Amino acid sequence: MDYLYYLRKEKMPHIWCDGCGHGIILKSILRVIDKLGWEKDDIAMVSGIGCSSRTPGYVDFNTLHTTHGRAIAFATGLKIVKPNLHVIVVSGDGDATAIGGNHFIHAARRNIDLTVIIYNNYIYGMTGGQASPTTPIGKKASTAPYGNPDAPFDISRLAQAAGAAYVARSTVYHVGKTDRYIEQAFLKKGFSVVEVMTPCPTSYGRRNKEGNGVEMMMFQKKNSVGVERAQKMSEEELQGKIITGVFVDKEQNNYLQRYDEVIDKAKQINQ
């Protein structure tokens, strides 16, 4: 396929550091869009702030680069006004689960028909490596020089508990899985989340002595466990592992359907 067809070539090369996984996720998104044959004008990509949130700047779709944590709020408005648009939110672990955490869980609860792709690199990459809600216990961050004392969120489990219709996790190394999950998420009518684990060698890897992008991807290759196998493993065995797979895939009425029902009811009552 021709990736360049979907890019704003004048904006390239992108700002992401060498070995950053964000570009690999963008490629997966573009491959799926190409496979599904979606027209560029029928897509809206929405983001907040962060390295990951720079993604819409590089793609030739309708794009909206909003304020930190608020991408889902903007995307919700967009989807309600233009329900035929394919609305894709791209977000970082900080953007989606720290400042934007409430938007995230409530959009899941509402089951608004959006796909949120979360680039989880365990850190605030853009601002130099402050701890995020997914930084594991003990890992170093600029705000946790002696190790992070906070327990992390499991974003996929959070989305599941909040009521999302589709939830899956992959890593940038497992590019085939990432493609498959993004395709399933795009086709889902309802709130769908794909969490992709991605290396930030600059603001996380270096400080935690996890090496460059290649070494961090080697770690993903060696330490990922499929969700079925993970169910047979103990807490101890799962320490430090990345559980990948589809966690939720269910049919339920989405927000737009329920909203239409409310409008119909109101019309009947007011006739």
Ligand X SMILES: Cc1ncc(C[n+]2csc(CCOP(=O)(O)OP(=O)(O)O)c2C)c(N)n1
Q: How many CA atoms lie within 13 A of 11 on its CB side?
A: 14
Q: From the CB of 96, what's the least distance to ligand SF4, in Å?
A: 14
How many Å apart are CA 271 and CA 126, to the nearest integer? 54
Phi, psi angle pair for 187, to nearest 5°: -85, -10
Q: From the CB of 97, what's the least distance to ligand X, in Å?
A: 8
Q: Is 51 in the site for ligand X (CB under 6 A)?
A: yes
Q: DSSP characters for 126-169?
A: TTT-EE-TTPPTT--BTTBTT---SPPP-HHHHHHHHT-SEEEE
User: What pairing do the DSSP bridges indicate for beta strands 192-197 and 166-171?
Assistant: parallel
How many Å apart are CA 63 and CA 71, to the nearest integer? 11
Q: Is 92 in the site for ligand X (CB under 6 A)?
A: yes
Q: From the CB of 78, what's the least distance to another protein, in Å?
A: 27
Binding partner selected for residue 165 from ligand SF4, another protein, ligand X, none, CB under the kind-specific 5 to 8 Å limit: none
Secondary structure string (H, E, C) spanning 5-54: HHECHHHCCCCCCCCCCHHHHHHHHHHHHHHHCCCHHHEEEEECCCCHHH
Residue 218 or 256 having the CB closest to another protein: 218
Residue 28 or 66 having the CB closest to another protein: 28
CA angle at 241 for the pair 248 and 118, rounded to the nearest 5°: 50
Among 121, 134, 171, 208, binds ligand SF4 (CB under 6 A): 121
Residue 111 or 134 having the CB closest to ligand X: 134
| # residues contacting ligand SF4 (CB under 6 A) | 12
Binding site for another protein (CB under 8 A): 3-4, 7, 12-14, 16-24, 27-28, 31, 172-173, 175, 212-214, 217-218
Binding partner selected for residue 24 from ligand SF4, ligand X, another protein, none, CB under the kind-specific 5 to 8 Å limit: another protein
Cis peptide before 136 (omega within 30 of 0): no
Phi, psi angle pair for 66, to nearest 5°: -105, -150
The site map against ligand SF4 for 33-62 (x = CB under 6 A) is: ------------------x-----------
Q: From the CB of 56, what's the least distance to another protein, in Å?
A: 16
Residue 49 or 108 having the CB closest to ligand SF4: 49
The residue range among 44-52, 55-63, 207-215, 255-263 that interacts with ligand X, by the rule CB under 6 A, is 44-52
The two three-digit tokens of residue 102, written as one number: 């409430």
- The site for ligand X (CB under 6 A) is made up of 49-52, 68, 92-95, 119, 121, 123-127, 132, 200
